[in-house]
Amino acid sequence: MAEQGWDEFEIGAMLRSFNGEAKDVALTLQEDRDYSSNNSFTASVADWRIEKPVFNKDYCIDCQFCWVYCPDISIISRDKKMIGIDMDHCKGCGICVEVCPTNPKSLLMYSEQTDEEQALAAWPSKDEGEK
């Protein structure tokens, strides 16, 4: 289905989100799902970004504000801990940085080409941290 062109697909056809039978999706984490190639999860919007968020877990208090307010399901939280950012689906909106309550922030925006190691090494300290 995914490979068919716009003039080849069946009108009224159904797109399947998963391969085969999908049971209890609401209880199955993304990494345990068998996504079909029609699921936008398999696509990337990484090239939309001009700026990207960088995560510094040293300051993170796992409040999960970034998780709940990220529009693009790009904050990866497992077992109540924020563990990273899904860079295939993050559009670089910057909401996660705005809602992060720590000082200094545990998330900051950098230009897309910034080296993450360098950003982390030069992370602002508490005083100059609050934007």
Partner 1 sequence: MGEVKKIKNLKEFSTSADRFEGANLLCPGCAHSIIVREVLNATNDDLILASSTGCLEVCTAVYPYTSWDASWIHIGFENGSTAVAGAEAMYQALKRKGRLKQPDRSTKFVAFGGDGASYDIGFQWISGCMERGHDMMYIVLDNEVYANTGGQRSSATPIGASATTSPAGRKSYGEKKNKKDMVAIMAAHDIPYSAQVAPNKWKDMVKKIQHGLNVEGPVFINAMSPCTTEWKFDPKDTMMISDLATDSLVFPLYEIIDGHELNITYRPKHKVPVEEYLAAQGRFKHLFKAEYKHMIKEWQDRVDATWEYLQRREEARV
> Which residues in this chain contact partner 1 in the complex, by CB under 8 A?
1-4, 6, 9, 15, 17-18, 22, 25-30, 33, 37-45, 48, 62-65, 67-74, 77-80, 82, 86, 88-95, 97-99, 109
Q: Give the three-state DSSP class for 47.
A: helix
In angstroms, what is the minimal distance from the CB of 119 to partner 1? 18
Binding residues among 86-105 for ligand SF4 as defined by CB under 6 A: 90-96, 99-100, 102
100 binds, among ligand SF4, partner 1, none (CB under 5 to 8 A by kind): ligand SF4
**With CB under 6 A, what is the number of residues at the site for ligand SF4?**
26
Q: How far apart are CA 124 and CA 101, in angstroms?
A: 15
CA distances from 25 to 21, 47, 72, 87, 129 (A): 10, 29, 18, 23, 40
Positive or negative, the Cα torsion across 117, 103, 131, 66? Answer: positive
CB 2 to ligand SF4: min, Å: 23
**Lookup: tokens for 22:** 């999908």
